[in-house]
Amino acid sequence: MKRGNMSLDPLDSSAALKSEPLCIFGTGDLGRSLGQCLLQSGYGVVYGSRRPDSCGPLPQGAQVMTHQEAAQFANLIFICVHREHYDFLEMLAPHLEGKVQTMASKKSSLCVLSRLVPKAAVVKGLNTVSAWALQNGLPSGTQVYLCGNNEEAKRAVAEMATKLGLTVLDRGSLSAARELEDFPLRLFPEWRIPLWVAFSLTAAFFIYLVIRNTVYDYVNNGQDVSYGIMVSLANKVFAAVSLIMLSLCYLPGCIAAFLQLYRGTKYRRFPDWLDRWMLCRKQMGLVALGFALLHAIYSLINPLRYCFYKSSRNLNNPTTFDNTRAWRIDSFYALGILGFFLYVLLGLTSLPSVGGSLSWREFSFVQSKLGYLTLFFCTAHGYIYGWDRFLDHSTYNWYTPPVYMLCLIIPTVVLVFKLIIIIPCVDRTLMRIRQGWERNPLRGETDDLKFTNL
């Protein structure tokens, strides 16, 4: 039977795909996994291989044959081979004319492919889905990207992907192919700035504490307290980094609010550094949650509460109990527990499965209102920890402030900024600006309004 090119008309393209098998070049992990999904969706699958007799186990119901034979059986072909092995396509050029070729491999050379098969309709797509995800079942709504110069070819591939339960996003022409290839190869692009900030803060505080505590005691008192580096010192570092990272999540929002108040409009772009900062706030918050969890675990190792309560009793009169110190200790732990609880709540609502079930008002309430409440509790936790130690000159080893004072600077600034923003007159003006009001509209618009009134 003579097979013509597949009809790509919207009304019969689905029927055409169901009536004939789909071809997959490549019998590796990606090719086998893709074929299994296609078979489960009711499609016929034909594999093209250099060595059909020794290509290993394939999904049940699929056929395997040479590249030339497989190309004659289907008009929609998935190329799941590395670009180093594209040479066989040149010999298949006459059999691939007018067919749709989908580049599903992570890295492909479209320039080489266009030269080898100039008359084929090339579509780049499905490369963001891994073989592991295909083998273990694709979550409903998984996004895949497509790009190509032939709209009918893209529509045919999109219909097939939709039947697999995928959500297709069209990225335009083949000029976007390089961008699509880079998607699965990116290594935590949104996490780079938060991780670098966290690493820098951790290293800085660790070195600062080692010099200020361990080295100071050894030089001045001749005591070796290096054993405290593993737990006590690390616990202080985790607490300081967590509090600063949390405050850095809300500082850019305050800066953006003051910028809008200063400019009197929301239609001017923020500086690039502020824009990038605001885009990575979620990741900063999750990193802060991780450090808070480490701080909580390390705090459980130290029997601090027992020691504090023991020291709360007057040594001269053991029956006398220092009520003020006891209140301070209980408040310190209560605020820490409440702050950590809200920390976890913020982290849970950052998950797509949880955040997606909330309305915008609910999500905004949790991330904004409860977020600032978390920052307030954690900052108060730090202030109560310090209490009146700042008055004691012995606290300043080598005239350096303790870490708890340093880590409270940014959170305090953020809370002061927020208090200014929520002042009714300021909040009312900021809300009007965010709703589209401008303090100084463009001169041209003002002239138009005057002309209209005339």
Q: What are phi and psi of 232, to 5 degrees?
A: -60, -50
| Confidence at 239, pLDDT banded by 50, 70, 90 | very high
The pLDDT value given to residue 318 = 52
Predicted confidence (pLDDT) at residue 42 exceeds the cutoff of 70? yes
- The 10s digit of each residue's pLDDT in 186-234 is 777 788 899 999 999 999 999 999 999 889 888 888 888 787 788 788 8
The pLDDT value given to residue 14 = 45
The pLDDT value given to residue 303 = 62
Q: H-helix or E-strand containing 201?
A: helix 192-209
| Confidence at 106, pLDDT banded by 50, 70, 90 | low
Predicted confidence (pLDDT) at residue 453 exceeds the cutoff of 70? no
Sheet holding 63-65, edge to edge: 63-65, 45-48, 22-25, 76-79, 100-103, 121-125, 142-148, 166-170
Structure token digits, residue 15 = 């029927």
- The 10s digit of each residue's pLDDT in 265-275 is 888 889 999 99
pLDDT above 90 coverage of the chain, percent: 24
pLDDT above 70 coverage of the chain, percent: 84
- The 10s digit of each residue's pLDDT in 342-356 is 888 888 888 777 777
Closest CA to 67 of 31, 33, 92: 92
Which residues, at least 6 apart from 377, have a Cβ–Cβ distance to it below 8 Å? 335, 336, 338, 339, 342
334 vs 18, more confident = 334
Say how far apart CA 382 and CA 286 lie, in whole Å. 20
17 vs 384, more confident = 384
Closest CA to 417 of 377, 374, 372: 372
Say how far apart CA 216 and CA 402 lie, in whole Å. 13
| Confidence at 379, pLDDT banded by 50, 70, 90 | very high
